[in-house]
């Protein structure tokens, strides 16, 4: 039976023809027609890691270095006011149950480097004491967490988005580690054994009065009444006070919202969303969008506005009628996870725009993603086409040397990228100017 399943998946991947080039980018993407089959197209890039001395490629004029390596499954990054860099280490865990499809899911994700039997469940602190772009001190900042992801410092408390709850710890400036188990501030929807999209990113309002946590769906799309019940409170961005009170759903219909930040010029919340699978190579585009209070963005009933997903029954015409169209498409199946607005001075050509960490596709006959891209902004809105910024994670044999996730700016204005397959945090900085010639 094992080889029958493997053969079926491989055959389907080999025989699936792309229905034309992916036009799912930009403010007005052209949506392909649905194109599916009895089994999903499965074509992941096998994770192999980086050879010694190898690394991704940045545009001309930049240098890429290994800021930190040997970091087990780095997923998300956060920079403290003193410049210390925090790395949330967590991984997908095997699905329990699910029959043959659950087994296939686990097999595919293991090969892609996404699953570990035991998630690292800690946060590591990296300190660059002299600001030379190299880490000279490292410590375990927090441990015994539950698939930690989002991080935020608000006042005297440090917040962590575990998969089942937002917790907080008292924080002392320049601390190398946190003590205690943490206080649960807000319990989150969680389904033990099969928690689906488990990441929980955090964002803080510009005035520090509100926190936001993104909670992805359990499933691709719910297939029956029981599946709808499991999705209660998920596929949404929640808002709450720093003490956990006044929690409410801020926006919904977002299948898997991950990277979240406030756009610096407008103060508007933006989020990167992974859309649904199994509708063909070029459907449905992942996207980033501004998040409006009380808005509904379609999932599971419709996508990219009010295009009905006929697989979902029963439909909800009332919700679909008010489904908003996302602001900017980022390509189908790119797994756009990281989202970071650049406000530093070291990369002036990128100031004001957004970097997106694209983890890479699995449900596509031709692999896409596996890179960091950039979208320019003007007046708080996207103002140009997607540009490659950091590439080379996928080698010429279709293997994943790395897979980018979180993106952040360090205190010198360089870009840091968490690579959860390479177990590396990469640093991208302007190349040093050559020394003047001697007289």
Torsion sign (Cα): 227, 232, 233, 235? positive
The domain ranges of the chain are 2-430
93 band by pLDDT with thresholds 50, 70 and 90: confident
pLDDT digits (tens, 9 = 90+) for 10-41: 334 434 444 467 889 999 999 999 987 667 88
- Residue 263 pLDDT exceeds 50: yes
What is the 8-class DSSP label of residue 44?
Answer: P
List of E strands, 150-255: 151-154, 157-161, 165-170, 183-187, 202-204, 211-215, 236-240, 248-252
226 three-state secondary structure: helix
Give pLDDT, residue 225.
87
pLDDT score at 19: 44
Give the angle 359-364-368 at the CA atoms, nearest 5°.
40
Q: How far is CA 137 from the centre of its chain?
A: 27
pLDDT at 111: 63
The pLDDT assigned to 94 comes to: 66
264 vs 128: CA distance, rounded Å: 26
Q: Which residue has the tokens 């403290």?
A: 80
- Which stretches of 146-295 are assigned E, i.e. beta strand? 151-154, 157-161, 165-170, 183-187, 202-204, 211-215, 236-240, 248-252, 256-263, 268-274, 285-290
Query: Measuring CA to CA, which residue among 163, 323, 202 is closest to residue 253?
Result: 323
Q: Which CATH number fits domain 2-430: 3.20.20.140, 3.10.20.30, 2.120.10.30, 3.30.2130.10?
A: 2.120.10.30
- Report the alpha-carbon distance of residue 286 to residue 364 in Å, rounded: 13
> What pLDDT shows up at residue 12?
42
Q: Is the pLDDT of residue 120 over 90?
A: yes
pLDDT at 435 over 70: no
Residue 320 has pLDDT above 50, yes or no: yes
Pairing between β-strand 202-204 and β-strand 424-430 as defined by DSSP bridges: unpaired
Q: Distances in Å between the alpha carbon of 133 and those of 243, 326, 340, 357, 425? A: 36, 37, 20, 21, 12
Percent of the chain with pLDDT over 70: 88
Residues 74, 80, 83, CA angle at the centre, nearest 5°?
Answer: 95
- Rounded to whole angstroms, the Cα distance separating 194 from 197 reads 9
Of the ranges 17-31, 254-268, 305-319, 320-334, which one carries the lowest mean pLDDT score?
17-31
Give residue for tokens 């293997």.
Answer: 399
92 band by pLDDT with thresholds 50, 70 and 90 = confident
With a CB cutoff of 8 Å and minimum separation 6, the contacts of 414 are: 133, 344, 346, 347, 427, 428, 429, 430
Residue 113 pLDDT = 65
Residue 107's pLDDT band (cuts 50, 70, 90): low
Give the tens place of pLDDT for each residue, 159-173.
999 999 999 999 999
The pLDDT score that the predictor gives to residue 103 is 56
Residues 6+ apart with CB under 8 A from 160: 88, 123, 142, 145, 148, 150, 151, 166, 167, 168, 169, 182, 202
pLDDT category at 194 given cuts 50, 70, 90 is confident
Residue 79 pLDDT > 50: yes
Residue 192 pLDDT: 87
The stretch 276-303 carries a mean pLDDT of 97
Q: What is the mean pLDDT of residues 384-413?
A: 97
Long-range contacts of 343-351 (CB under 8 A, 24+ apart): 343/264, 343/409, 344/409, 344/413, 344/414, 345/413, 346/412, 346/413, 346/414, 346/429, 346/430, 347/413, 347/414, 347/415, 347/430, 350/374, 350/376, 350/389
Q: What is the mean pLDDT of the chain?
A: 91
Taking 60 as the threshold, does the pLDDT of residue 1 lie above it? no
Predicted confidence band of residue 223 (pLDDT cuts 50, 70, 90)? confident
Residue with the larger pLDDT of the pair 181 and 297: 297
Contact call for residues 37 and 19 (beta carbons, < 8 A): no
């Amino acid at each position: 039976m094992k080889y029958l399943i493997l053969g079926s998946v491989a055959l389907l991947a080999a025989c699936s023809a792309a229905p034309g080039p992916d036009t799912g980018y930009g403010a007005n993407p052209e949506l392909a027609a649905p194109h599916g089959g009895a089994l999903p197209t499965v074509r992941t890039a096998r994770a192999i890691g980086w050879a010694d001395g190898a690394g991704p490629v940045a545009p001309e004029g930049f240098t890429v270095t290994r800021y930190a390596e040997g970091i087990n499954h780095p997923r998300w990054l956060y920079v403290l006011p003193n410049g210390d860099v925090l790395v949330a280490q967590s991984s997908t865990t095997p699905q329990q149950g699910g029959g043959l499809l659950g087994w296939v899911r686990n097999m595919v994700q293991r090969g892609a480097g996404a699953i570990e039997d035991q998630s690292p469940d800690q946060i590591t602190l990296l300190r660059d004491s002299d600001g030379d772009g190299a880490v000279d001190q490292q410590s375990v900042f927090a441990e015994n967490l539950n698939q930690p992801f989002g991080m935020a410092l608000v006042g005297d408390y440090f917040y962590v988005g575990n998969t089942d709850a937002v917790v907080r710890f008292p924080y002392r400036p320049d601390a190398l580690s946190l003590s205690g188990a943490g206080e649960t501030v807000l319990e989150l929807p969680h389904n033990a054994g099969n928690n689906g999209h488990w990441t929980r990113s955090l964002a803080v309002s510009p005035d520090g009065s509100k926190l936001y946590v993104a909670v992805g769906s359990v499933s691709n799309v719910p297939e029956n009444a029981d599946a709808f019940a499991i999705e209660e409170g998920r596929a949404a961005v929640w808002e709450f006070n720093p003490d956990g009170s006044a929690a409410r759903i801020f926006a919904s219909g977002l299948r898997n919202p991950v990277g979240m930040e406030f756009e610096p010029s407008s103060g508007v919340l933006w989020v990167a969303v992974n859309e649904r699978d199994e509708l063909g190579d070029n459907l449905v585009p992942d996207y980033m969008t501004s998040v409006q209070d009380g808005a509904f963005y379609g999932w599971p009933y419709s996508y990219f506005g009010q295009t009905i997903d006929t697989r979902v029954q029963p439909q909800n015409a009332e919700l679909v009628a008010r489904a908003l169209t996302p602001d900017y498409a980022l390509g189908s199946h790119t797994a756009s996870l990281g989202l970071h607005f650049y406000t530093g001075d070291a990369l002036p050509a990128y100031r004001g725009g957004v970097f997106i960490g694209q983890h890479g596709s699995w449900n596509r006959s031709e692999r896409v993603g596996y890179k960091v891209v950039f979208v320019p902004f003007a007046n708080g809105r996207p103002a140009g086409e997607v540009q490659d910024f950091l590439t080379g994670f996928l080698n010429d044999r279709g293997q994943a040397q790395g897979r980018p996730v979180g993106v952040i700016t360090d205190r010198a204005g360089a870009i840091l990228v968490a690579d959860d397959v390479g177990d590396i945090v990469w640093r991208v900085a302007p190349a040093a100017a050559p020394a003047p010639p001697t007289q």
